[in-house]
Every structure is written in structure tokens, then in C-alpha cells.
Amino acid sequence: MSKKYLSAYNYNIETKEIPHWDPWKIQNNSNILVEICPNHYFILGPKIGEKRYIWLFKIVSSNNELYIISLKTNNDNPCIEIVIKRATNIGYIKSINKSDEYDGNSLMNWILQIFHAFNVKSCILTDEPYKNITAYISPIFITLLRGKRTYYEKYGFKSDNGRTSKLKNLHNELLKITWDDFKDIQSIYMNRIRDKYGFVYQNFPYLIFQEFNESDCKIFYDFISDVILNKYPGHNQLREIQTLISKSIWEKKLI
């Protein structure tokens, strides 16, 4: 590489002069992938408030598959790793890891836009790409416990109806568990979450997850781990939910 580049730049009047590709614009002679060095390209990311970034990606074609991997990493894992299979025109999301610049939502929007720009007809993911976002507790798991649409459904991904129905039935079983079922259990993590939220949810502990937020997520993760490890009420349902989610394949039609 004749010039040494960083893996990410704040997009401004100076850095916009770095040759880069904007996946939100129609490709033409002035908006194409420009090789910075062999197999390395800058791609413009989404706008977050007034800020925007360009990241350096390694893009390699092998066996009729296009690999797009960010040099930007989190704990040595690529923040973005996707594969486009040219024979089927299907994209696969292999890895999503939040960074200082972009959270998981922004990265997902960025990936979907890259797929759109490459005319990918559908994309597929499993729960694996998100394992580093929430300390190995799946976003779909948390969203399900909150009684809302799953994390992937928010982006238009769909799983098979049978599995989705099983997940909802297991969640309904959790909601029938009461604090009385925990009355003979002494647990630091249970006491912490009950002391903070129990005055609102006085009867059913798993309704507490409606209060989940990223800034206070540890108290919820600790409670889940405690229930599963010590086989407290609800552990069977939580384990089965984890298993179903880990085996789920989610697909989104793009064309």
C-alpha cells in the first residue's frame, strides 16, 4: 500500500476526497468502487445525526462468491462481514459487531443498503452475527421477553411460522410464573432486579423485561444467567428459547 490508511475516517470536507463508494447513490462513472490497494476499498456509511464515516473494507471474489469484510473490528472481530453468492444472488450476514462510530442498528441499515446496491434479491442471517453486541445474549431473546416484535422482524426478516409460534408460546409460559415461585430462593441477582422493578411488577417477574434498556442491561443479563445456571423457575423455557433462536434462519426479501 503506497499510502497507509486508517480503517475508519470521520466523513468531512477533507476526507471526502479519499476515493470511496456511496451505496446510497446509483452507480455511475463517479460513484464506483475504487481500489485503494489490492482488494481494499472505502465505503461510505449511514448518516447518524450530523456525523458520517467512511470505512475501509477488504473485498475479495472467490468461487463465484463476493466477500465484503470491514477492517474496522471489535475485539478482533470484523464489525461487518457479509458474503454475496453470485449464482443465487443471495446475501449472507456473517458478522455484525458494534463500533464506536456505529451501533448494531446502523450497521444493519448499512449492510442492507450495500445488498440493495449489489441488486441482491434476498439476505439470510442466523442469530450468530449478533453474539458480540449483547454479551452473548441475543437481541431477539431480549426483544421476545419484552413482548415486542423480534429484533429481526423489525427489519423485515422472517423465520418459519412454526418456530415463531413456539417462541411466543414459551414466552406466554414465562409470563405465568409468579414471584411466589421464587419465594424459597435466595439470589443476589433476583433481589437486585426485584428491588428496582418489583414495586411496579409485583406479581409476575418476567414482565420486568418490559423495562429493559441498554444503559441498564447488566441487571437483566445477570438475572437471566442466574435463572438458567441455577435452574430457577423459568429456566426450562429460557433454555428452549435460546435453542430455538440459535437454530433459527431469518430471511429478508430485497427484490
Per-residue model confidence as pLDDT tens digits over 67-102: 999 999 988 889 999 999 999 999 999 888 889 999
The answer on 76 and 28 residing in a single domain is yes
| CA 27 to chain CA centroid, nearest Å | 28
The answer on 121 and 206 residing in a single domain is no
**At which residue does the C-alpha cell 444503559 appear?**
215
The answer on 147 and 47 residing in a single domain is no
125, 158, 190 — which closes off a domain? 125
What's the grid cell of residue 213? 434498556
Q: Is the pLDDT of residue 177 over 50?
A: yes
Mean pLDDT score across all residues of the chain: 87
**pLDDT at residue number 64:** 94
pTM of structure: 0.75
**pLDDT at residue number 170:** 92
Sorting pLDDT into bands at 50, 70 and 90, what band is 129? very low
For 111-126, what is each residue's pLDDT tens digit?
A: 999 999 999 999 998 6
The answer on 143 and 121 residing in a single domain is no
The answer on 145 and 90 residing in a single domain is no
The answer on 220 and 189 residing in a single domain is yes
Phi and psi at 194, nearest 5°, equal -70, -40
**pLDDT at residue number 139:** 64
**pLDDT at residue number 1:** 47
Q: Is residue 1 part of a domain?
A: no
Q: Look at the chain and report how many structural domains it folds into.
A: 2
Sorting pLDDT into bands at 50, 70 and 90, what band is 137? low
Domain enclosing residue 39, as ranges: 8-125
- DSSP-derived secondary structure for 51-98: B-EEEEEEEEEETTEEEEEES-EETTEESEEEEEETTTTEEEEEEE--
**pLDDT at residue number 28:** 65
79, 97, 125 — which closes off a domain? 125
Sorting pLDDT into bands at 50, 70 and 90, what band is 148? low
Distance CA 32, CA 25 (A): 10
Sorting pLDDT into bands at 50, 70 and 90, what band is 128? low
Q: Determine the average pLDDT of the residues in 218-228.
A: 91
**pLDDT at residue number 167:** 84
For 59-75, what is each residue's pLDDT tens digit?
A: 999 999 999 999 999 88
